Amino acid sequence: MQLVSDSSLNELRFALFDSGVGGFSVLVELANALAGFDFDFDPEIFYLADTARCPYGPKSEAQITGFVEQISKWYLGRKVNNFVMACNTSAAIASNKLRLWQECPVWDLINLTCNDEVLKYNKILVLATLATVNSKAFSNALQAAKPDLVVEELASGELVNIVETGDFSSINTRNVLKYYADYAVNNKFDAVIFGCTHFPFLIDQFRKYLPESSRIDLINPAKYLASQLGYKFKAKSGLSSGRSLRSASDYIKNTRFFTTGNPDNFAIQVNKFLNLSTDRIEYVDVQELEQCKVTVNSPNHHYINDLNIIPKFA
Ligand code: DGL
């Protein structure tokens, strides 16, 4: 347990969003990371699932940018002070714009993936949505850091639907996963990045289709969030604050969930993916979101871009 030493830090309100349940894979990592710190206040987490407009992957850049703009504005009223783009499609298309629209730090998993642990590989396969692949956001970011790295991005948006519907064991799902696993093996990749936040829920199953001798590493970018948060909340060694500490499941339990879809259905998904039984799902009408437009874009606007810090791994 690390006692947070930054006395100027007295409030943390994290805004997460995704097209659906994919961002739960990020929420879990965020909750795990926060549970490793001893704050003398209670950090809060908000999660908005834009279920009514899921999937984002096949949509145009203009549509995705519009969604991010609306969600960014919608969150302004909730006084959030850390944005976590729990949707890589949104990050690939609009993370830079979100950084202009928000004064607070914006965490995006694509930048977080460009770290020493990933850059040690020579040939990487990225599985992601069509919009992410078309944007080349992963290849551009990774190759900017290591120009001779071979990166291939493969549009695999059907995995989003598999996760959304919870169809983990059908023959179709098995065939799809086997196809991508064979592709990774036959083309001699060192690592596969699960570049859509829905996909890490399939990592264990995917692994079953790799031969036992395979040395291909499977990467969930969300796990790098914890190390980056570690840079932000500089730890002080010493005694604890004396408050009762929150576990990762406490953080998940206290998350405020919103959906543009059917709250009852979303509650079932929360239960299934997060093992949390709740009837406190709040409904957001898409029309309400569509009213949200960002108007502030001051040239004096400044924000802390934590992502300029590339984490170093021992
Ligand atoms: N989970 C999101 C991502 O990381 C969105 C997937 C989708 O809606 O197509 O890309």
Q: How confident is the model at residue 282 (pLDDT cuts 50, 70, 90)?
A: very high
Q: How confident is the model at residue 227 (pLDDT cuts 50, 70, 90)?
A: confident
Residues 233, 100, single domain; the answer is yes
Contact 195 CB / ligand 1 (< 6 Å): no
With 70 as the cut, is the pLDDT of residue 270 above it? yes
Instruction: For helices 24-35 and 223-232, give the axis angle rounded to 10 degrees.
Output: 40
User: Domain limits at 265?
Assistant: 2-108+224-309
pLDDT digits (tens, 9 = 90+) for 178-191: 999 999 999 999 99
Q: What is the CATH number of the domain that holds 122?
A: 3.40.50.1860
Atom of ligand 1 nearest to the CA of 196: 4
How far apart CA 10 and CA 101 sit, in angstroms, is 23
Q: What is the mean pLDDT of residues 5-25?
A: 85
Residues 120, 175, single domain; the answer is yes
How far apart CA 284 and CA 190 sit, in angstroms, is 42
Contact 90 CB / ligand 1 (< 6 Å): no
CA-nearest residue, atom 8 of ligand 1: 55
Query: 163 alpha carbon to ligand 1 midpoint, in Å?
Result: 11
Residues 35, 177, single domain; the answer is no
With 80 as the cut, is the pLDDT of residue 14 above it? yes
Contact 19 CB / ligand 1 (< 6 Å): yes
Contact 220 CB / ligand 1 (< 6 Å): no
Would you give the DSSP letter of residue 117? H
What is the pTM (predicted TM-score) of this model? 0.90
With 90 as the cut, is the pLDDT of residue 9 above it? no
With 80 as the cut, is the pLDDT of residue 159 above it? yes
Query: 149 alpha carbon to ligand 1 midpoint, in Å?
Result: 25
314 part of a folded domain: no
Contact 88 CB / ligand 1 (< 6 Å): yes
Query: 314 alpha carbon to ligand 1 midpoint, in Å?
Result: 31
Q: What is the mean pLDDT of residues 208-237?
A: 83
Q: What is the mean pLDDT of residues 28-48?
A: 91
Structure tokens at 144: 């900017």
Query: 56 alpha carbon to ligand 1 midpoint, in Å?
Result: 6
Domain termination residue (choose one: 199, 221, 243): 221
142 residue type, one letter: L
Structure tokens at 195: 């570049």
Domain total of the chain? 2
Give residue 302's pLDDT: 30
pLDDT digits (tens, 9 = 90+) for 48-106: 999 999 999 999 999 999 999 999 999 988 889 999 999 999 999 999 999 998 889 99
Q: What percent of the chain has pLDDT over 70?
A: 86
With 60 as the cut, is the pLDDT of residue 238 above it? no
